[in-house]
Amino acid sequence: MTELTLHNAPQSTCSQRVRYTLHAKGLPFEEKRLDLFSGDQLKADYLQLNPNGVVPTLEDGGAVIIDSAVVMEYLDETRPDPALSPADPVARAEMRSMMRFIDEVPTPAVRVPSYNLAFLPHFRAMSEEDFQALCDSKPLRREFLMKMGRTGFPQQEMDEATGRLRRGVERTADWLQASGGPWIMGGKMTLADVSIMPVIVRLDDIGMDTLWDAHSGVARWFEAIRATPAFGKTYYFGSLLTEKYPHLAERFAKPGSAA
């Protein structure tokens, strides 16, 4: 029996980082999939593990670790081979500051177009009272959902999110240029690459890949990470929004794809 259990959701960007880290390290784990729209993350049993009512949560034997960035660092500390952090403390600090930037700027921003494009229909059909009760039940996302409302984020909010996503892509391009690639910190992949990966995948999935039209380094990086064995294992069918929501598949079909 494996000692690692990951509570997560296929299409959750925070979960995808942790799945990638586990696969990149070749670690076996039991995957428990939650249905976020049925409210699995808000059930009493799950809240005991993760009082924030979000995925992912990692169980390691008796230990419970929450927050995707914390989980990635925990896995790298407890299972350091192969390492996904530099050995030098200054370089480790640099990697962590990149991860903090990613978690502060592009990661929250990508939720805005994701909710407007894909998740809104789940809320539209609700009564005002039910929607308010749902917002009130979310320990971490109450205000975010209330801002969205049942009609979606207004254009101004979408524009602001696009601006933050653009800055995230530009910063990634700068890091790649400074290190010489192929990875953000140079010759070895680190947790900084894994942190930004789901944002770039999501942008590509929802037709916002034009954000790196002027940044060929980001396009090359994306090709490189897609070619890693861990990528296919992480993004099993149903992990992309266009795989889960057929209307998006039609809207964002790539030239030459079957969708």
Which one of residues 6, 55, 169, 197 is an interface residue with ligand GSH (CB under 6 A)? Answer: 55
The closest alpha carbon to 152, from 127, 115, 122, 205, belongs to: 115
Only segment of 7-15, 93-101, 152-160, 164-172 that touches ligand GSH (CB under 6 A): 7-15
CA distance 153 to 146: 10
Nearer to ligand GSH, 71 or 176 (CB): 71
SS3 content of the chain, % helix, strand, coil (to 5): 60, 5, 35
- Determine, following the binding rule CB under 6 A, whether residue 67 of this chain makes contact with ligand GSH: yes
The values of phi and psi at residue 160, to 5°, are: -65, -40
**Nearby residues of 167 by Cβ (< 8 Å), 6 or more positions away:** 105, 106
Only segment of 61-69, 164-172, 175-183, 214-222 that touches ligand GSH (CB under 6 A): 61-69
Which one of residues 5, 68, 116, 239 is an interface residue with ligand GSH (CB under 6 A)? Answer: 68
- Determine, following the binding rule CB under 6 A, whether residue 112 of this chain makes contact with ligand GSH: no
Could you tell me the two tokens for 11? Answer: 């299409």
Nearer to ligand GSH, 65 or 176 (CB): 65
Which one of residues 21, 23, 24, 41 is an interface residue with ligand GSH (CB under 6 A)? Answer: 41
- Determine, following the binding rule CB under 6 A, whether residue 191 of this chain makes contact with ligand GSH: no
Element (H, E) at 23: helix 13-24
CA distance 77 to 126: 44
CB of 220 to ligand GSH, least distance (A): 27
Which one of residues 6, 7, 10, 14 is an interface residue with ligand GSH (CB under 6 A)? Answer: 14
The closest alpha carbon to 7, from 75, 70, 68, belongs to: 68
- Determine, following the binding rule CB under 6 A, whether residue 12 of this chain makes contact with ligand GSH: yes
Report the largest interatomic distance among the alpha carbons of the chain, rounded to a whole angstrom. 54
**Count of residues that bind ligand GSH according to CB under 6 A:** 14
CB of 46 to ligand GSH, least distance (A): 10
CA distance 90 to 87: 9
Which one of residues 13, 85, 190, 195 is an interface residue with ligand GSH (CB under 6 A)? Answer: 13
CB of 14 to ligand GSH, least distance (A): 4
Q: Exposed e or buried b for every residue in 19-42, given b needs 16+ CB within 10 A?
A: bbbbbbbeeebeebebebeeebbb
- Determine, following the binding rule CB under 6 A, whether residue 114 of this chain makes contact with ligand GSH: no
CB of 119 to ligand GSH, least distance (A): 9
Binding site for ligand GSH (CB under 6 A): 12-14, 36, 41, 53-56, 67-69, 138, 141
